[in-house]
Amino acid sequence: MAELKQFIFFDFEMKCDDRGMPYENMEAIRLGAVKYDLQTRRITSFDRYIQPASREPLSPFCKNLTGINDGDLETADPFPVVYSEFLFWIGGVKKSRFFSWSKSDLSRLKIDSHLHGLPAVTLEKIEKRYVDFQDIFSKGVSKVNLSVENALAIYGSLFEGEAHHPMYDSYNTLRVFLHYYSEPVTSDIEMARAFILNGEEIELATINERIKEVLTVDIAELTDNLHFAYRMTNARKFLKKVSKTVGKYDNILLNRSGIFSEDVQHLVHQLHAFNKNLHESFQEHLECSSRIMIIDDYSETTLKNLK
């Protein structure tokens, strides 16, 4: 594979209607992107209107939302031409990684390419190198899908440029990306607030103490419910509860910022071990068509020792 040299952040504006519209009919009407050179950190931009195959006028809702008018599209090039210009501007798919804020932009690229009968080979290369950065951000920081504007606010930054302008949306997605990787402490504090602390404000100096307090409460609740898990029907529900609890703390083990203490990480590791052993035990009982599950001493002791 060619050496990675640049990041491409892209975004589509699409036909839309507040009365509803099938997604396949929401053709792209504008494509914006920014290119980030990994060596020079230079940023260049791409912005093109797209004349849709369907020449029906845009809805008033769409005009108001996107700021795009029918006149902007009358003289625009069709999708195949804009796509070709986009690829030329990229200057090499194999040396690029592609990002957008939600997978809908990749879906739009695929649907419109298919609509116009474009070869799939280049699109497959793009898809192979594609990252849904909103998904990365929600799993690693915010827990829920945020707007680009709200993601920037986590780092004390404001959205720059026009809203619903795909080039500016792409540029600001790049800014979130750069904040995410250059400010891991801020990212991990926000992650702890979102996933573990129910949004409460927390200082770096006390974050490990507070996480241990919440983790202790969660473990105590699991311990109190352990005796309900002996019937297989109840055991299945208990497994889901344990898995959900474990999921709250997964990012602690990643510890991108290094702020989480060894004590906290050890507790989370032990919780993972309990979860794994419990699932294996459940599966063994299920394969034997057992109506009850005997929880072994190791699992029970592991959980109780975490308190």
Query: Do 220 and 177 reside in the same domain of the chain?
Result: no
CA distance 256 to 246: 18
**Residue 190 is assigned to a structural domain of this protein:** no
Residue 273, token pair as written in the block: 């071990």
C-beta neighbour count of 135 within 10 angstroms:
13
CA distance 176 to 154: 9
**Residue 218 is assigned to a structural domain of this protein:** yes
Query: Do 278 and 235 reside in the same domain of the chain?
Result: yes
Query: Do 125 and 71 reside in the same domain of the chain?
Result: yes
Q: What is the CATH number of the domain that holds 133?
A: 3.30.420.10
Query: Do 89 and 37 reside in the same domain of the chain?
Result: yes
Query: Do 155 and 232 reside in the same domain of the chain?
Result: no
Q: What is the pLDDT of residues 27-76, one digit of tens each?
A: 999 999 999 999 999 999 999 999 999 888 999 999 999 999 999 999 99
**Burial category of 261 from C-beta neighbours within 10 Å (exposed 0-12, middle 13-18, buried 19 and up):** middle
CA distance 45 to 171: 8
The range of the structural domain enclosing residue 266 comes to: 204-305
Q: What is the pLDDT of residues 210-249, one digit of tens each?
A: 999 999 999 888 888 877 777 888 888 888 999 999 999 9
C-beta neighbour count of 141 within 10 angstroms:
24
CA distance 221 to 30: 52
* DSSP label at residue 163: T
Share of the chain above pLDDT 90, in %: 76
Question: Which among 163, 146, 162, 165 has a CA at the least distance from the CA of 154?
Answer: 146
Query: Do 226 and 77 reside in the same domain of the chain?
Result: no
* DSSP label at residue 10: E
Beta strands in the chain (DSSP E): 6-14, 28-37, 43-51, 77-78, 96-100, 130-132
Q: Which residue has the higher pLDDT, 132 or 234?
A: 132
**Residue 187 is assigned to a structural domain of this protein:** no
**pTM for the whole thing?**
0.90
**Burial category of 306 from C-beta neighbours within 10 Å (exposed 0-12, middle 13-18, buried 19 and up):** buried
Query: Do 143 and 218 reside in the same domain of the chain?
Result: no
- DSSP H/E element including 244: helix 232-248
**Residue 93 is assigned to a structural domain of this protein:** yes
- The per-residue b/e assignment along 213-250, b for 16 or more CB within 10 angstroms, e otherwise, is ebbeebbeebeeebeebeeeeebeebbeebeebbebbe
| DSSP per position, 14-43 | E---TT---GGG--EEEEEEEEEETTT--E
Query: Do 149 and 249 reside in the same domain of the chain?
Result: no
Query: Do 38 and 173 reside in the same domain of the chain?
Result: yes
C-beta neighbour count of 256 within 10 angstroms:
15
Query: Do 31 and 151 reside in the same domain of the chain?
Result: yes
pLDDT grade for 304, boundaries at 50, 70 and 90: low
Instruction: List own/partner pairs for 180-183 with CB under 8 A and 24 or more apart.
Output: 180/137, 180/140, 180/141, 183/155
CA distance 232 to 287: 12
pLDDT at position 260 over 90: yes
CA distance 149 to 164: 11
